[in-house]
Structure 1
Amino acid sequence: MRTPRSCGRRLVVLGLLLPATVALTAGTPAAARQAAPDPVWDRLAACESGGDWQADTGNGYYGGLQIWPPTWREAGGLRYADRPDHAGRRQQITVGEEILRRQGWNAWAWCAREIGVLE
C-alpha cells in the first residue's frame, strides 16, 4: 500500500501478543491466505492512519488501512464504495483480507513490521 516514506502518522506498537496463527505463520505463504483477526486489522489501521477508518489525508491513500484506489478496485472494493474512506470499517477489512490473500503483509510492509506480522 505505502512505502515507508509515504507513511503518515505512525504508532509504534511494541510488545503486543499476536494470536498464534498470525504470529507463527506471518512469514509463510500460507499466512497470506489466512484471514487475520479484527484486532490485527485495528492495530494495522492504528499504524497506517491513526485508527481513522475515514482517513483522507491527501497522500493518495485512503481509509483506515491506507489503500491506494487502484488496489481498492482490483480487490473488489467498488462493491462497497468508490474509495476506501467512503466504506465502513468491516468493508475495508474485507477488502484488506483480499489484498492480504493476493499480496501478503508486504502490502503494508512498514506497519506490518511495526505490529509484528511481518519479519
Structure 2
Amino acid sequence: MPLTRSRRLVAALAAATAVTLAPLTVAPAQAAPAAPAAANAPSSASPAVGGLATAPQRAVRWVKVDRARVTVKRDRSSRTVARPGAGTRLVVLDRKPRLLEVRLPGGKVGWVGKRAVTSVPLQGTSGKRFTTGRVAVSQHVRPASRSVERAALGTKVVKLARTTGRDVDRVKVRLPNGKSGWVSEKKLRKRDVWGQLAQCESGGRPHIATGNGYYGMYQFTARTWRSVGGKGLPHRNSAKEQTERAQILQARAGWGQWPHCSRKLGLR
C-alpha cells in the first residue's frame, strides 16, 4: 500500500509540472488588429519638405489674340465656353499636340488652341494711341516676326495688351482695318497729329468748301487730291478717306504740304 500511494503522488506531481510548463496561447479573436503599413510609411507620390506636402506648380499662359475661343471639348464643333481677350491669364491643366486644357480666371475650364496663347506674361490694357511714324506691326511679340501691316504716321490704334516679362516695351494694338499685332511702346503716343492738323486747317470740318480752291479737312486742292488716288473732290469723301490720303501725301512730300499748321504744331 505505501508503495502504491507513493506512485500516485509521483504521477500527480508530474501532471502538475506538465501544465505549468505548457506554452501560453491567445485566441485569435482576442488579438489586437495590426496597423496598416501604408498608414505609417511615407508616400513617394507626394514629396514633402519639412514634413509638409507641396502642391505641383501649374504652367500659365496669356491670351495673345483679340478674342480666343475656349471650347468644352477638343473638337472645333464643340460648344464655346468663353472668349477671353488679349492679356487674360490662363492656368494650364492638360496638354495635347495643338490644344491646351485651361482654367479661366472665373473658374471655367475648356480647351484653347496653342497658337492663341503665349508664355510671355501679358497685362490687359486699353486706350487709344497714335503712331509716331511709319510703323511695322509684327504678328508676334518678337520684333523679328512677320509683319502684318505697315501703319502710316498718326494712325489711330487701340491698345489691347502689353508685355510684363521680356520685351517689356512691346504693345499689342488693333488697327483701324481690324488687324492686330505688336509694336514698340516708343512708337505710340497720345497726340492725335491728324486731328490737330485738321483742326488747324479747317476747324476739323470734313465737308468744308469755301470756294477758294481748297477742300475738306486738310484743305486739298483738286489736283493734289487726285495725285494721291482720291476720287471726286475731297469734301465729298469721308473723314477717314481724307485722312488716309493726307497720310499718303505726307509720306511722299513731308509736312511742307501744310506749311503754316505743321510749323505751328511743331511737326517740322
- TM over 0.5, yes or no? yes
Shift in Å, 1:105:
0.4
Matches within 5 A, 1:77-96: 77-78=230-231, 82-96=232-246
CA RMSD for the aligned pairs?
Answer: 1.9
Shift in Å, 1:59:
1.1
Task: Name the counterpart of 1:35.
Answer: 153
- Provide Cα deviations, 1:68-103, integer angstroms capped at 9, x if missing partner: 11000010011xxx0110011100011001110111
Determine the C-alpha separation between the residues in 1 that align with 2:248 and 2:131. Answer: 21
- Provide Cα deviations, 1:35-57, integer angstroms capped at 9, x if missing partner: 22452111101110011111101
Task: Name the counterpart of 2:255.
Answer: 105
Give unpaired runs (5+ residues) of structure 2. 1-129, 134-150, 157-191
Task: Name the counterpart of 1:21.
Answer: 132
Determine the C-alpha separation between the residues in 1 that align with 2:250 and 2:195. Answer: 15
Higher relative CO (CA 8 A, sep ≥ 6), structure 1 or 2? 1
Shift in Å, 1:58:
1.1
Task: Name the counterpart of 2:23.
Answer: none
Determine the C-alpha separation between the residues in 1 that align with 2:220 and 2:211. Answer: 12
Number of residue pairs matched?
87
Which is richer in strand?
2
Matches within 5 A, 1:53-68: 53-68=206-221
TM-score (norm 2): 0.31
Q: What is the DSSP-based 3-state SS (H/G/I as helix, E as strand, rest coil) of the residue aligned with 1:77?
A: coil
Which structure: larger Rg? 2
Which is richer in helix?
1
Determine the C-alpha separation between the residues in 2 that align with 1:84 and 1:71. Answer: 10
Q: Which amino acid aligns with 1:35?
A: L
Determine the C-alpha separation between the residues in 2 that align with 1:95 and 1:101. Answer: 10
Q: Which amino acid aligns with 2:244?
A: T
Shift in Å, 1:21:
3.0
Worse-superposed segment, 36-45 or 58-67: 36-45
TM-score (norm 1): 0.67
